[in-house]
Chains A and B, each alone.
Chain A
Amino acid sequence: MIYRENGQFKTSYAADQQIFPIRQDRYAIAALLVFAFVGVPLLADEYMFRAILIPFLILGLAALGVNILVGYCGQITLGAGAFMAVGAYAAYNFLARVDGMPLLGALLLGGATAAVAGIVFGVPSLRVRGLYLAVATLAAQFFFDWAFLRIKWFTLDSSSGSVSVSNLEMFGWTINSPVEKYLFCLGLLAVFALLAKNLVRGAIGRQWMAIRDMDVAAEVIGIRPMYAKLSAFAVSSFIVGVAGALWGFVHLGSWEPAAFSVDRSFQLLFMVIIGGMGSIMGSFFGAAFIVVLPIFLNQALPWLGNLVGVSISTVGVSHSEFIIFGALIVFFLIVEPHGIARLWSTAKEKLRLWPFPH
C-alpha cells in the first residue's frame, strides 16, 4: 500500500532514467545514507567498527569491483585477491617512495596499477572463457603471491615481507579513530558505488552485458569484444585495487602477502554469487552476509548448543561455518542464481501490488 508509484508520472526521459525512479526508493536511500553517515557513528561501538563495519565496507567495495567483471561482463575471475594485493602494494610504494604523495593519490594510483595488471591478465579472456578463464586468472593469483613474497623491492626490502602504514592523513584530516576510518571508507564506497552504477546503466554497461549474454550478436551490432572485455577488467581491477589498498592501509595497518591469498579471491567470488550477479546492491548484500555470518555463528551456535545440551567447541563453530557457507552457495546456485538481490527485487515487486494478488 505504502510502497507504490501511483500518480508518479514520468514526463521526460531524464526522469525515467534516474537510478531510483520511484519516489519512495529515493527517500529510503536518502534515509539510509543519513543513517550511515550520522546515525551509525553515534550508535556503534569500537568493536562494531573494527570487526564488522569497516571490513564490510572495504570488502563490499571489492565485491562491487568483482561484480562488474563477473556479474556484468560474464568473465569469471579467481584473481581478485591478487588485484587487491597489487592495489595495496602499489599504493604503499607510491606513498613511501614519492615525497608528499597524498593518501587519496596513493590509493587511486594503487587502483590504476591494479587496473593495468587486470588488463594484462585479462588478455586470455579474448580467447578462452568459463572454467579456462578462471584458471588463467588463477595464474595472476599465484604470480602476485610469489612476487610480493620474493621480490624485496616491492616491500622496501623489509626482511619479513610485511609492510605497515601509519598516520593516515587527508587534507589535514587525520584518520585515526575507528569512526574516522569508517567514515573515510564509507565516503569512498558511496562515491565508487555511484560511479559504478553510472557505468553499468550507460553505454559501456550495455556493452558488457551484451558480451555476457550473447557475444556473437554483440559483435554483429558492432561491439568490439576486446574493448568491452578489457575495459571490464580494467574498471573491475581498479575498484578491487582501491579496496585492497584500503584493506591494507585502513583495516590492517600492517600486512603481508598472505592477507591477499587465494582464499580472499574465493571469498569475493562467493559474495558476488550469494549477493547477486549483475547487481550493485547485490555486492553489498553479499559482503554483509559473508562478513556478518561468521560473527553471528560464533555467537549463536554455542548458545543453540547449550539449548539442546551440547557444547560446541570453537573448532566446531569454525567448521560449521564452512559447512553452512558451502550449503548456501549450492542453494543459491540452484534456487536463485541471481542471489539475494533478486529476492530483494521480487519482494519489492510483490510489495508494489500488495494487498492485491496481481
Chain B
Amino acid sequence: MAETVSERQIGDVVLDLRNISLAFGGVNALSDISFDVREHEIRAIIGPNGAGKSSMLNVINGVYQPQQGEVVLRGQRFEKMSPGHAARAGIARTFQNIALFKGMSVLDNIMTGRNLKMKSNILQQAVWWGPAQREELAHREKVEEIIDFLEIQHIRKTPVGRLPYGLQKRVDLGRALAMEPSILLLDEPMAGMNIEEKQDMSRFILDVNDQLGTTIVLIEHDMGVVMDISDRIVVLDYGKKIGDDTPDEVRANPEVIAAYLGASH
C-alpha cells in the first residue's frame, strides 16, 4: 500500500482510557478500567466471555457512553464520545458479528468507508458528470489498492451476503481500512476461522500496523495469535482489569491463569 516503514517505532500515548465504568441497568459491564494505547503499537484486550471486551471497544468509539470516566484521544478529552466524533477523529473498527451492508457489493461496502472523504454535494452527484465522477474515480483507485492488499479482487462485484464468513471478515477489515484510520479497533477478527484464514488475517493486521503505522486495538480469543502479534495486553474479567503487561508477563500472571483455567493456586 504505502512505502514500508522499516523500523516500527512505538510512540507516545494516543489513546488514554481513564476510570471507565459502564453499567446496563444493575449490571456492571466495566468497573473503573484504565489503560492506555501507544502510537503504532498492537494492543490486545483479552478475557473470558462476558468480560466486557466488546463493551470496551464500544466505549472507545462512542457506541456506548460510560457512566464514569473519560476517553482522552491525543490529549483531547471526551466525556461523551459519539460514533461520528470517533470516525472523524480517525478511529475505525470491525465488528464481532460482521456488520457489513448486506445488500451491497464488496466494492460498494469498501467505498462506503470513504464517505467522510467525499465532498461533492447532492446536486453534483445527481448530475454525475464533472466533480462527482472525478471524485468517485479517485476514491475508486484508493479502494482498489485496499482490494489488492486484502487479495479480494475476484469478489469485488459480489454482494457481500453471498460470501463465506472468512471473506466477509476481510471485507469488514477493508471497509475500516478505507477510512485510513490512525487507530483501528478489531473485534475478534479471527473468530470462527480456520488456521489458514487466521494466518492470512494475522499477516494483514501486521502489514497494516507495519506499513501504514496504524495503531491497533485488538480483541481476540486465540491465545497463540494474541501472544505472537501484540505488544501489550490488557486482561479483563467480569468487567475488571486483572492484568496489563507484555505477553510474557501476562502469560505468567497467576490471576490471568485463574481467570482462564479457573484453577486454584
Contact = CB atoms under 8 A, between A and B. Distances in A.
Contacts of B132: 198, 202-203
B63 interface: yes
A222 B86 CA distance: 8
Nearest to B127: A198
A204 B136 CA distance: 11
A231 interface: yes
A220 B86 contact: yes
Nearest to B89: A222
Contacts of B61: 220
A222 B102 contact: no
Interface string A208-219: 011011101111
Interface in B97-138: 99-104, 108, 111-113, 115-116, 118, 120, 122, 125-128, 132-133, 135-137
A87 B73 CA distance: 48
A210 B100 CA distance: 8
A329 B179 CA distance: 41
B179 A202 contact: no
Contact of B87 (A17, A216, A221): A221
A145 B62 CA distance: 42
A223 B115 contact: yes
A14 interface: yes
B80 interface: no
Contacts of B88: 222
Nearest to B85: A222
Nearest to B119: A203
B140 interface: yes
B58 to A, nearest CB: 9
Given A209-B101, A214-B99, A221 B122 contact: no
A222 B115 contact: yes
B134 to A, nearest CB: 10
B95 interface: yes
A220 B93 contact: yes
B84 interface: yes
Contact of B104 (A17, A198, A213, A219): A213
Interface in B36-73: 61, 63
Interface of A: 13-14, 17, 195-196, 198-199, 202-204, 206-207, 209-210, 212-214, 216-224, 231, 235, 278
15 contacts: A13-B141, A203-B111, A203-B115, A203-B125, A203-B136, A204-B125, A206-B112, A207-B115, A210-B101, A213-B103, A214-B99, A220-B92, A221-B92, A221-B112, A235-B122
Interface of B: 61, 63, 83-84, 86-88, 92-93, 95, 99-104, 108, 111-113, 115-116, 118, 120, 122, 125-128, 132-133, 135-137, 140-141, 144, 175-176, 179
